[in-house]
Amino acid sequence: MRTLLELIRIILILGILGALGWAIIGNIYTIDEATENYSWIGAIAIILLLFVLYRNKLQFSGWYKGKGSVKLPKSVSVTLIFSSILLFILPFLLSTLLS
């Protein structure tokens, strides 16, 4: 039962925080039509950030208390955060280079 509750919690976290992140970032990509075509890359960046947030903070406050609950290594966290920042910027670079 705890596993089911944790899965529901993960879906709600992804849904609510993902929608909030997209509401903030999505309007920035609508500035240019060429940038809007690559806005899906920004969605991947939001998912990466939510993954890091969940694995490093939110998994420890949930219902499921399994043995495998460990934080991501610092190097992996930094790499994923840097990758998501790059993915946020990439639609602007692609629209500039390809238009």
Show pLDDT as tens, one digit a residue, over the chain (99 residues): 888 888 898 899 999 999 999 998 888 888 888 888 888 999 999 999 999 999 998 888 877 777 777 889 999 999 999 999 999 999 999 988 887
- Its pTM stands at 0.88
Q: What is the pLDDT of residue 98?
A: 82
DSSP string, 46-64: HHHHHHHHHHHTGGGGSS-
- Cβ-count burial 6-34 (b if 16+ within 10 Å, e if not): beebbeeeeeebeeebeeebeeebeeeeb
Amino acid at 65: K
Total domains in the chain come to 1
Range of the domain at 90: 2-98
Amino acid at 73: P
